[in-house]
Chains A and B, each alone.
Chain A
């Protein structure tokens, strides 16, 4: 199965800053079949991005995704208080669909 490794594990930042989250795959993900989710405590994950760089419905353009092959990135510009949460990447190139272990974005 494809293993996704997210880094860093935790990021401490302040509102207004820009952040970049990394997701690295153990083998190449064709056609950019990678999604990103945001999860807050006690809630289900929320789809942010799919196809590596496509924003889901209602996701502001402060969120952007990029990457190909084995290296993917989620960037968030101008962090807002509601952005501090857990972020997961997920590949849907090869079953079983797998998720990264997550990056926690916390307020500094």
Chain B
């Protein structure tokens, strides 16, 4: 059973950047895309982008284009999401989630979430 373990909470100042990790324990990503989904306090879920293993090709939601970078280190089964030019509205819990299977971008396996707080 795949477990996704994320890095811990972060506090950042406006204008700075944050990089969050997501490590697959109990196995690799098995060729399935890793997605990043965020949830602002009291709000719904928002898909930010994903990355396809093997090819390491990222896809980003247009809203985050230019500010988000998703990368993958397959040697350590770890995915990363970096968000730059942070603003207070980026305060949220950020989840990684694995595609259910190839070309099935819904999510059975989730990380525990990483709280990012953006505050001056």
A-contact 0/1 string along B58-98, CB 8 Å cutoff? 01011100000000000000000000000000000001010
Expressed in whole angstroms, the Cα–Cα distance for A39 and B35 within the complex equals 18
User: A63 — which chain B residues lie within 8 A by C-beta?
Assistant: none
Tell me if A95 and B59 are in contact (CB < 8 A). Answer: yes
Expressed in whole angstroms, the Cα–Cα distance for A88 and B111 within the complex equals 17
Tell me if B113 and A44 are in contact (CB < 8 A). Answer: yes
Tell me if A45 and B45 are in contact (CB < 8 A). Answer: yes
Q: Number of B residues whose C-beta is below 8 Å from A?
A: 21
A-contact 0/1 string along B85-120, CB 8 Å cutoff? 000000000010100100011111011110000000
Tell me if A90 and B62 are in contact (CB < 8 A). Answer: no
Tell me if B105 and A92 are in contact (CB < 8 A). Answer: yes
B-contact 0/1 string along A37-51, CB 8 Å cutoff? 100000011010010
Tell me if A99 and B46 are in contact (CB < 8 A). Answer: yes
User: A95 — which chain B residues lie within 8 A by C-beta?
Assistant: 59, 105
B32 within 8 Å of A (CB atoms)? no
Tell me if A102 and B44 are in contact (CB < 8 A). Answer: yes
Tell me if B104 and A50 are in contact (CB < 8 A). Answer: yes
Q: Secondary structure at chain A's binding surface: helix, strand, loop or mixed?
A: loop
Expressed in whole angstroms, the Cα–Cα distance for A47 and B100 within the complex equals 10
User: B105 — which chain A residues lie within 8 A by C-beta?
Assistant: 92, 95, 97
User: A99 — which chain B residues lie within 8 A by C-beta?
Assistant: 44-47
Tell me if A88 and B45 are in contact (CB < 8 A). Answer: yes
A57 within 8 Å of B (CB atoms)? yes
How close is A5's CB to chain B, nearest CB, in angstroms?
11
A101 within 8 Å of B (CB atoms)? yes
User: A96 — which chain B residues lie within 8 A by C-beta?
Assistant: 47, 61-63
A65 within 8 Å of B (CB atoms)? no
User: B104 — which chain A residues lie within 8 A by C-beta?
Assistant: 50, 92
Tell me if A56 and B44 are in contact (CB < 8 A). Answer: no
A64 within 8 Å of B (CB atoms)? no
Q: Which of A's residues lie within 8 Å of B, judged by CB?
A: 35, 37, 44-45, 47, 50, 56-57, 88, 90, 92, 95-102
Q: Which of B's residues lie within 8 Å of A, judged by CB?
A: 35, 44-47, 59, 61-63, 95, 97, 100, 104-108, 110-113
